[in-house]
Amino acid sequence: MTRRWSKPFLARMTIPLLSAALLAAVTHEANAQQDGDVAGGRQLSETWCSSCHVIGPTTVHGTSNGVPTFVAIAGMKATTAMSLRVFLQTPHAQMPDLHLSRAEIDDLATYILSLRHR
């Protein structure tokens, strides 16, 4: 026998289920931002990124080559751990292909996000 759910029951259950799904997504994103190591990301950025980007938290001025500072990148509304991971895995004409491991990408993303609101 197939059970049929009443419309009032489904209406009452929709909001809690959507709320739980949203909470899970937000929690996952917050945890994803902590997957990397800030110190490791800082060291990688000093090695690979500092020739083009201002990587430190104290300098927020633009660079002479026109690339954004890490503080500026961190401050963009669209910048998330996931968007940084995708960007760092995708070759770009302006950036060298660094062939970073997943752990290195996580470290860089975590470091850049650590500069938010500085």
What's the pTM value of the predicted model, to 2 decimals? 0.67
Give all domains of the chain, ordered by start, each with its CATH number: 36-114 (1.10.760.10)
Residue 108 has pLDDT above 90, yes or no: yes
Q: Are 112 and 37 in contact (CB under 8 A)?
A: no
Please state the rounded mean pLDDT for residues 102-108. 96
pLDDT tens readout for residues 45-98:
999 998 888 999 876 565 667 888 999 999 999 999 999 999 999 887 778 888
User: How many separate helices (H) and strands (E) can be counted in the chain?
Assistant: 5, 0
Instruction: Quote the pLDDT of residue 81.
Output: 95
> What contacts 13, CB < 8 A, 6 or more positions away?
none
pLDDT tens readout for residues 3-41:
665 666 545 555 555 555 555 555 444 444 458 999 999
Instruction: Quote the pLDDT of residue 113.
Output: 96
Instruction: Quote the pLDDT of residue 103.
Output: 96
Q: CA dihedral defined by 111, 102, 44, 38, rounded to 10 degrees?
A: 30
Could you give the angle at the alpha carbon of 106 between the alpha carbons of 26 and 114, nearest 5°?
70
